[in-house]
Structure 1
Amino acid sequence: MLVLFFAGQAKAVMTIHPKTSQIFSGESVTFRCNIQRGEVTDWEYTWRKDDVDSISRKHEYEMSEVKISANGVYRCLGTHIDNGTYSQWSDAVRLTVTGKSCYLSFTSLPPLKMVTTQEILYSGDTVKLRCDISNYRDWTYRWLINKERLSSQTSETTTISLSDQAGQYQCQGTRTKQPQNSYLSSSLHISVTGELAINLQSLS
């Protein structure tokens, strides 16, 4: 593709979302090409991966469930629909797609806490436990009591009965969109002495 440049050209600016040049296979990525002149609808867009061009009327280039073959250097260019003038090429953005089986990373310890407004808890009360991992939103949760998995609970909260589920609780999160686990949380120890239920926070 032969492109002529003239003084005073608009600049094309490419951005990538999410804001990282390295993603895992199976995730989605969107490139956006913004021409620093006029409206997005004033331009037709040329998308270049390495040395291969494609043309679109859209200023977004979305790839869902990307594969390793998407690795490469991306640029964009605008052609004004009315007068046919060209923008400058954007700066290059390199996309690196990593296979899921190659990486397994861990995030920090999630806090585990009891959610209740009661000041005194008694045997037979039901209370909610919450596992709070704030880095991302796409976590699936694993709950443990005394190191054993607690049924099939996968949400960030679980409700327990203090009369028959006293013990040491922990939680762990796994991201659903890439292979990332949290570490096991610190332990929340819940004991029942007679009628009174006591919870203690301690490190596992």
Structure 2
Amino acid sequence: MQHNLLWMGFLFFNTFSCGHPEGKTSLAADRAVLPAGGSVTLTCTVDNPGHLDFHWYRHDFESSAGQMMNRTADKSLVLSKGGLYSCRGVRLGKGNVPSYTSYSNKVTVQETLSFSVTVTLDHDWARIYVGETVTIGCEIKGGEQINWTYEWKKNHTFEKPGSSSGHRIIKAKQSDSGDSCRGRRDRFSSTEWSDALSLTVSTNNPKANLTAGSTTIPVGGNVTLRCSVKPSAGWKYRWFRRTENTHEVQLTDKENRDINVTQGGIYRCHGTREKPSFYSRSSNEKNIKIMFSNQVFVTRQPNWPHIISGESITLTCEIQGGQTTEWTCDWMRNESIILRTDSKRWTFIVSESSSGDYKCRCRRRDDLFSSTRRSETITVVSSPVSSSFPVMLIVGPVSGIILIVLLLLLCLCRRSKDLCCFRLFQSESSSQSPATNPGENQIESHYSSLLHGTMSVYETIHNRGATGNERPRDSEDGSVYVNVRPDNYSSA
């Protein structure tokens, strides 16, 4: 019993000498978060307080000693700044020697800063696709000069410790929405949380669509191709070309939606946006055949309406304005392709089956996907060789020779006949007396015939003194024959 009394006396003395009044000290705040422009009230409570004053302390860390910031007679303190706070009571004893209660617990007050905070996207895309990488940002209006630490949460769940970057890269998932952020100036002050960002994330990866403009262009022209992805915001495009005989290559200098190409081929495209790149599904392949608008027509040599079987003919596919271009030409007969040549000319031997309507269409040798239009039709008519043709080759010239001989004989015969008629007339006229009246009618008849030009009279002219009864002399003897025409006579 005596031992216990001694122990209690020791404790009383020790307490009084150290200046710690009896009772437990505790600190409480009416709210943990100090609203922007608002205040918070701290209350320091001591068991069996008696007459006490209160000292108020602010700490940088939990383990650090506090710095006294105020002394009040009231156990309550109104604050407008966030921080880590504690308190204790103090009483003046004999000789104004202070005695203190124990330190209270520490209370954290978070101050809300009056800045507007918004979560932003680095684009204005209407739709995001699963697997696509997007960048979101935390924008604090009016706080550009403050070194913020940024905090993020998704669907009201705090996600990551703060970072000094106001941007965050995410890979979109179907459930990606509800991201919000705030800026922290220090341990005890931060902005309000922003509104949650709402993202529409689609599971259907979009497909690019490839369309072509007019394919009718002149030699040296181009055709416009367009690649599009809907919705169209933010997309760049990659273009690819191949042919039936070459591997696909990317057109590395083409990223626009519209491109102009001068070569035909098999084209495709797809859309891409952001880095690392996200790709749309590829478009369908499109076979681009450029059709030149140059006029095309066919000429032939020889240009005969009928070509005999066995003869040679040359058809030429003439391309207006394409004289300097190397062409490969397709030849069609009755709308069916029958031949492809490496030049514009085609020479062949005509047969009975060669008759028909011919057309041509040409392609540039370095681009088999570009072609001219079909030419106008030219008709070739093949005539078969007749079986009597060799006979005609012989009979024709022989008949001509015979005809010439007959004409010559006819002329000779007619000349001989005229001579006989003249001599007959001469003998009749000489046998009659010129004074005899009955002969006048005959002479008049002959004269009438002469006047009408129906006969020619050759008269023998005798030497002066002749009686007319002498034998006619031969022409070699000096006789002169005169062709007496009726128009040479005149009335006496």
Structure 1 position 60 matched with structure 2 position 167: yes
In the aligned structure 1, how far is the partner of 2:141 from the partner of 2:271?
37
1:16 deviates by 1.0
Deviations 1:45-103, CA, capped at 9 Å, x for gaps: 1111112222222111122xx1526613111111113x84222222221234434xx33
Paired letter, 2:182: L
Where structure 2 has 5 or more consecutive residues not aligned to the other structure, the ranges are 1-31, 38-112, 273-277, 295-318, 326-363, 365-369, 372-492
Where structure 1 has 5 or more consecutive residues not aligned to the other structure, the ranges are 114-118, 122-126, 161-167
Tell me, what secondary structure is at the counterpart of 2:189? coil
| Equivalent position of 1:105 in the other structure | 207
Aligned length: 176
Paired letter, 1:105: K
Structure 1 position 50 matched with structure 2 position 155: yes
Cα RMSD of the aligned pairs, angstroms, is 4.2
| Equivalent position of 2:238 in the other structure | 140
> Do the aligned partners of residues 111 and 128 (structure 1) sit closer, same or farther apart at CA in structure 2, a change above 3 Å counting?
closer
Contact persistence 2:134–2:172 (CA under 8 A): no
1:38 deviates by 2.7
Q: Comparing both structures, which one devotes a greater share of its residues to strand?
A: 1
Contact persistence 1:79–1:86 (CA under 8 A): yes
In the aligned structure 2, how far is the partner of 1:150 from the partner of 1:131?
20
1:30 deviates by 0.9
> Which of the residues 142, 149, 153 maps onto 2:249?
153
Structure 1 position 172 matched with structure 2 position 279: no
| Equivalent position of 1:90 in the other structure | 194
| Equivalent position of 1:16 in the other structure | 121
Contact persistence 1:5–1:86 (CA under 8 A): no
Which structure has the greater CA radius of gyration? 2
Identity fraction in percent: 18
Moved more, 4-13 or 127-136: 127-136
> Which of the residues 178, 181, 184 maps onto 1:76?
181
1:188 deviates by 5.4
Contact persistence 1:128–1:159 (CA under 8 A): yes
Q: TM-score, normalised by structure 2?
A: 0.29
In the aligned structure 2, how far is the partner of 1:25 from the partner of 1:144?
31
Structure 1 position 189 matched with structure 2 position 296: no
Dislocated runs of 4+, deviation >6 Å: 127-130, 183-186
| Equivalent position of 2:486 in the other structure | none
Q: Which has the higher contact order (CA 8 A, sep 6+)?
A: 1
